[in-house]
Amino acid sequence: MRVDVIMPQMGESIAEGTLTRWLKKVGDRVARDEPIFEISTDKVDAEIPAPAAGSLVEIQVGEGQTVAVNTIVAFIETEATAAASAPKPSAAGRSTAPAGAPSRAPEAPRPSGPAPAAATPATARPASPAAGPLPAATGEIPRAAQMAASGAGPEELRRVRSSPVVRRIAREHHVDIGRLQGTGIGGRVTKKDILTALERGGGAGAAAGAGGPGMGTTGTAAPAGPAVHRPAFALGDRTAVEPLSAMRKKIAEHMVLSRRTSAHVTTVFEVDMHRVMRLREEHRQAFESRHGIKLTPTAFFVKAAVEALKAFPVVNSSIEGDNVVYRKDIHVGVAVALDWGLIVPVIKNAGDRTLSGLAKAIVDLADRARGRKLQPDDVQGGTFTITNPGSYGALFGTPIISQPQVAIMGVGSIAKRVVVVDDAIAVHPTVHLSLSFDHRLIDGAVADQFMAHIKTALEEARFPEVL
């Protein structure tokens, strides 16, 4: 018995295939399911098994030829004895089920004009027995009920209800039809709409933007493509053009990346530094002679922040996909301004260090940063960052988070300012501390409690082991 060997259907959207190679020659014996030829479509190479055992008696399609799906490419003559049980060509893929079937949108009810009250299904909720239903509302009731049941608004139903070909393209390219602007009847998304969207890179944009279930991830809000490019200058303008330095470029990229990733919110606290400065004054001499370095206010800020991080571990975490990753160790990056830019060396295991230990680490890292002697490891692995917008007198800053961290504290300028102490006016050194935090993860209340923790530590000068 002769069995047809056909070009198999390799997918719902694939209409043809190119036969690249015969693995068997005419006259060869083949076993059932033994590969007999290879086809290729786009980036796929596939071996096609024999539909039946027997011998290959005729080849209809040569190597390199492209033919439509289900075209007969060869015949196999099965053994006479096996004829009865010779299976039909198994046309791999014939049974392909519509892949996205379960996700198909619920069919919208036919808007066939306002249904007469009598025709309103008994299931319609408002069974107002006495007063006759308002005529205008009657038609709306079942529709609204159905919409409520399917959880979709009328607009969404209209959009998602597009032709099978559009749904197929959407499924294949992971595009959420509901997000596309439809130009068809009633705002339906047409084939042209979806192809245009894909051409514009909408596949990625839509996929990233629409985001699979629970995909609140980094970079998803990224613009799909660059907007219209406006050159910064026109020919003939008086300008000087210099390439960005490698460091500047990295900073630029990271700043934009971070803005795109985190939902930045900044909160600002004023802190009375009176007691800390007095404590520092008291221990200045002893500290210097014992440790050989100056006791700077920065050490107090870092220490206060470290203790607050211990109390609010979420501030010392990261978002990774759908998870919060709590860092068990506290590594604090401290921004150091340099003549040629800004670098943020990291105090490793800051959580285990004393005030003097932190002070030493800060001096060591800052010295090495200025001497260009930092190792790559010195600037990596930070879990929280402290920066100092106040070094030139700014009251406070709204820093950008260093990814993948979730918060950064800015230290404003320390200056003598008028404060109210016990209903009396006093002149105390104060500072404004700002915290930019990732509002995706950290609530405002938590951020403020974190900052209040720091404020209290500083105002009450809770540093038992200054030396």
Partner 1 sequence: MHSCTAGWLGRIDFRDAMRLQGECARRLKDGTGGERVLLLEHPPVITLGRNARPEDVLIDPAVLLGRGIAVERCDRGGQVTYHGPGQLVGYPVLDLSPERRDVARYLRDLEEVLIRTLARFGIATGRVAGLTGVWVGGEKIASIGVHLSRWVTTHGFALNVATDLDAFSLIVPCGIRSRGLTSMERILGIAPPLEDVASVLLPEFARVFDRTILAGSVEVEIPRPGTDDALRVEAALRPKATSCPEAAGAVAGREAR
Q: Does 349 engage in binding with partner 1 (CB under 8 A)? A: no
Q: Which stretch binds partner 1 (CB under 8 A): 147-155, 222-230, 277-285, 415-423?
A: 222-230
Pairing of strands 264-272, 332-334: unpaired
Q: Binding to partner 1 (CB under 8 A): which residues in 357-376?
A: 376
Compare residues 194 and 299 and give the one whose CB is closer to partner 1: 194
Cβ atoms of 418 and 426 within 8 Å: the answer is: yes
Torsion angles phi and psi, residue 95, rounded to 5: -85, 5
**Closer residue to partner 1 (CB): 23 or 105:** 23
- The overall longest dimension of the chain from CA atoms, in Å, is 112
Tokens of 51: 């539909």
From the list 21, 29, 104, 373, which residue makes contact with partner 1 (rule: CB under 8 A)?
A: 21
- Residue 333 main-chain phi, psi, to 5 deg: -80, 135
For residue 349, what are the CA distances in angstroms to 10, 52, 312, 329, 353? 56, 68, 16, 6, 7
Stretch that binds partner 1, among 79-87, 117-125, 359-367, 379-387 (CB under 8 A): 379-387
Q: Let me know: does 142 contact 121? Beta carbons within 8 Å.
A: yes
**Site size with partner 1, rule: CB under 8 A:** 94
Q: Could you tell me if 262 and 438 are in contact, meaning their C-beta atoms sit under 8 angstroms apart?
A: yes
Measured CA to CA in angstroms, residue 196 lies from 33, 51, 180, 190 at distances of: 42, 41, 10, 10
Task: Provide, rounded to whole angstroms, the least separation between the CB of residue 86 and partner 1.
Answer: 19
Closest by CA position to 47, among listed 38, 58, 56, 34: 38
- Nearest-angstrom CA–CA distance, 173 and 170: 5
Q: How far apart are CA 162 and CA 147, in angstroms?
A: 17
Site for partner 1 in 259-298 (CB under 8 A): 259-261
In whole angstroms, give the CA distance from residue 107 to residue 49.
40
Residues 403-462 that bind partner 1 (CB under 8 A): 403-404, 408, 410, 436
Question: d(Cα 342, Cα 241) in Å, to the nearest integer?
Answer: 22
Q: How far is Cα 427 from Cα 435, in angstroms, rounded to an integer?
A: 25
User: Does 391 engage in binding with partner 1 (CB under 8 A)?
Assistant: no
For partner 1, which residue of 344, 355, 435, 441 counts as binding (CB under 8 A)? 344
Instruction: For helices 355-370 and 297-311, give the axis angle rounded to 10 degrees.
Output: 120
- The residues, ordered by sequence, that sit 6+ positions from 462 with a Cβ below 8 Å of its Cβ are 456
According to the binding rule CB under 8 A, does residue 224 interact with partner 1?
Answer: yes
- Based on the shown chain and the rule CB under 8 A, indicate whether residue 174 belongs to the binding site for partner 1: yes
Does residue 153 belong to the site contacting partner 1 (CB under 8 A)?
no
| Binding flag, residue 250, partner 1 (CB under 8 A) | yes
Instruction: Select 382 or 429, whichever has its Cβ closest to partner 1.
Output: 382
Shortest distance (Å) from residue 440 CB to partner 1 = 14
**Residue number, 226 or 371, with CB nearest to partner 1:** 226
Q: Which of residues 35-54 bind partner 1 (CB under 8 A)?
A: 35, 38, 40-47, 49
Say whether residue 23 binds partner 1 (CB under 8 A). Answer: no
Q: CB 3 → partner 1: shortest distance, Å?
A: 18
Residue 401, interface with partner 1 (CB under 8 A)?
Answer: yes
Map the footprint of partner 1 across residues 191-210, applying CB under 8 A.
195, 198-199, 201-205, 207-208
313 binds partner 1 (CB under 8 A): no
156 is an interface residue for partner 1 by CB under 8 A: no
Task: Provide the mask over 52-81, with x wherever binding to partner 1 is found by CB under 8 A and - wherever it is not.
Answer: ------------------------------
Q: Annotated active-site positions, please?
A: 439, 443
What's the CA gap between 276 and 458, in Å, rounded? 6
277 vs 411, beta carbon nearer partner 1: 411
Cβ nearer to partner 1, comparing 20 with 354:
20
